[in-house]
Amino acid sequence: MQVPELTGGASPPAASPSARHRWILHVDLDQFQVSVERIRDPGLEGVAVIVGGSGDPEQPRTVVTCASYEARDLGVRAGMPMRAALKRSPDAVFLPTDHATYDAASARVMEAIASLGHPVEVWGWDEAYVGVDADDPVPVAAAIRETVAAATGLRSAVGISDNKQRAKMATNIAKKYPVDGDPAARVFVLTGENWMAEMGERPTRDLHSVGPKTAAKLAAAGVDTVDDLVDTPRQTLIEMFGPHQGTWLYVLARGGGDGTITTEPEPARSHSKVHTFPTDLTDVAQMHGRLAELTDALLAQIVAEGRVVFRVAVTVRTTTFFTRTKSRKLPAPTTSLADIEPSVHVLLDKFDLDRPVRLLGVRLELTDPDT
C-alpha cells in the first residue's frame, strides 16, 4: 500500500533555533548504563546485569533503570520493580544508578557525535538526533557508530529517515541486527518507499509514541496493525481520540513526524521534585515538612538559573496508587520562598489525607525568561 509522504504539520512544535535537514539520524546507545558499568568492570561481560536505585533489589519502591540483554532474556525490563527483577533473575549482578558517571559518559558520546560536524539534538543520556544533508546518509551513520565506539567504547544503533519519529522506529529495526561486526550493520533506513513494507503488518504499538492504552483502544475498534490504522478515516480517529491525538495518529500511521533538529533546548517551563518514601506517611505535619524541604531545594535550583515562579502545584500519591495534582497561580511572579511555600501548604490541605501517603511532589511553573 502506498501512502503519501507527510512530515511536520501535525507533529509537536520544535524549539527554536531549529532547522530542517534532508535526513534525520537517530542514535541510540546499547544498554547504556550496563555498558558503562562493563567498561568500568569488564568482569560483568556476559552476565545478567541490572541497574537501579541503590543496587539493593530488596529495597522497596525502587525500579530497574537498565537491564543487560542477558537479564532482558529472562523478562527483566526498565521500569520494573527491583524485587520483581530479582525474582526473574536471581543470579544477576545488581548495581546502583551512578548519575555522575553516566552524565560524564553521555557527554563524551555527544562530543564524539558533534565532532563529525553535523547538528546534534540531545534527547537524554543514551540518544540523540543528528541532522544530515548528504546524498547518502549511511556512511555518516557508520562513521557515528565508529567514532562513538572509538571515543567511549560504547556501541550504538542508528535509524535513518526524514523525521524523528520514523528515524526512531528505524533504530528499533536496526537493533535487531548483531551488536558486533561491520559499522554499518546496525543502521537501518526507513522512508516512504519502504514504510508500509516494513511497518504495515506490525501492531500499532510499534509506532513511536503509541502506548498500551492507545493501542488497546484501537484494538477494541478493530484496528490492530499499522495497515488497519492507515485504512481508518481521519474523522473516525478524531471522534475516538479528539482532534489533536486523532490527527497525530493519522499522520503517524503514514510515516509522518517532526522533521527538524533543534540544537539549543527550549528553556524549561517548570521544575519539579518528587520523593517516594520508604515508609508511608500518615502524619500530616510530617507531610507539610517534607513538602517544605522539596520546595526549598527546588527554588534554590530555580533561583540559580535566574528564573521566576508564577504557579505552584502539589502531587500526592497514596498507598493505593491514587494520584492527584492540585495547582494554584501565585498573586504575582516571585522567587521568594516566603511567597511560595504558603501556597504549597494550602494546596496540600486541599487533599483528602485519610490514607497513608506514598509519594509527594512539588512543581514550580516558570515565567518566560524573556519577560
Which residues are catalytically annotated? 127
d(CA 200, CA 331): 53
Q: Tell me if 234 sits within 8 A of 322, measured CB to CB.
A: no
DSSP β-ladder status, 187-189 and 156-161: parallel
d(CA 299, CA 297): 6
Residue listed under C-alpha cell 518507499:
193
Show the cell assigned to 180: 558486533
Show the cell assigned to 285: 505535619
Burial of 26 (0-12, 13-18, 19+ CB in 10 A): buried
Task: Count CB atoms within 10 A of the CB of residue 169.
Answer: 25
Helix (H, G, I), strand (E, B) or coil at 188: strand
- Write out the DSSP string of 69-109: HHHHTTT--TTSBHHHHHHH-TTSEEE---HHHHHHHHHHH
Residue listed under C-alpha cell 495547582:
327
Handedness of CA 345, 350, 353, 356 (dihedral sign): negative
* Residue 32 CA: distances (Å) to CA of 29, 104, 148: 6, 12, 12
* Cα radius of gyration (the chain): 23
Handedness of CA 342, 343, 348, 350 (dihedral sign): positive
Entry field: residues in the chain: 371
